[in-house]
Amino acid sequence: MLANHSEIISDYELKPYTTLKVGGNAQKAYLPVSVGSMIDAIKSADKNGEEYTIIGAGSNLLISSQGVEGATILTKNLKDVIQIEDNKIYALCGAKSSAFSKAAYDAGLKGAEFLIGIPGSIGGAIYMNAGAHGQNIKDIIESVKVLDMKTYEILEIPAHNLDFTYRSSTFMKKKYIILSGIFKMDNGDKNQMKELMDFHVNYRAEHHPPLTEYSAGSTFRNPEGDYAANLLEKVGAKEYIENGRVRFSQKHANFLYNFNNASSDDVVRLMYTMWDRVYKEFNIKLHPEIRFVGKKTVEEEKLWKIMTKQ
């Protein structure tokens, strides 16, 4: 145990903690129960010379079937703190996006309706500037509390310094770990908010695969001026099956799902096959929205580099 009762487990299975249900084991897993114990886990990993990986709700994530070396820090227990004061909401990084949306609605604060249908955490939503149908995290975030991985200093960074763009933020470039966020939101009409939340839920039910299918969400980012799903459908993504284990959804060509105990190399090969078809047909290089963590095979390393080199 570390301070604040953080649990440490060796050879810990990670597959259940991802929405895609793919992945091997963590060499060592830390399960912090507070921000303090999360910081202690990071310090402990650094002291031991261990590389560390942080996993939130496990959406938009592909974990290598070869496992993850070093320390894996799971924030799943950092989820119960969502505090509201006036028109501001404070949320820990592990808070579920849907729970945040409901809390905002209950308080009559608008702008988080789109989060109701996103199966991820607030930390992940901030990291990638999650959004849907014109609503985005960047529009409601006031500041983010982070841990500087170099100095162990806790910083509070205002939103205007976070470089939010489409599915991107400063956290993809700098050595910061998201601990919590403060959101500033306007009062809204609860009837209109409920209608918008229902729209997001119904839209996902109609156009996205059900949550019972093991998916990582959007596979590729939308290229400028087009939709990844449109391009993928044109090159036959819905008809292609990789190794009898993983395919793209019949409902949405940018959602791949694991229907038969797929491995990470099955997923990467499927992604690359469609990436290559889109590139050859339209001269467009799609960029993965999924994040890959863990030990890659030689083939995975090669194909992933091709897809992420822009």
Give the integer Cα–Cα distance in Å for 204 and 208. Answer: 5
- Point out which residues pair with 157 in neighbouring strands: 144
Query: How many CA atoms lie less than 13 Å away from 273 in the CB half-sphere?
Result: 20
Structure token pair of residue 110: 């608008």
Q: CA angle at residue 304 from 298 to 281, to 5 degrees? A: 125
What are φ and ψ of residue 62, in 5° steps?
Answer: -120, 115
Q: Active-site residue numbers?
A: 167, 218, 289
Angle between helices 97-106 and 190-207 (to 10 degrees): 160
Report CA-CA distances (Å) from 30 to 72, 93, 161. Answer: 6, 15, 30
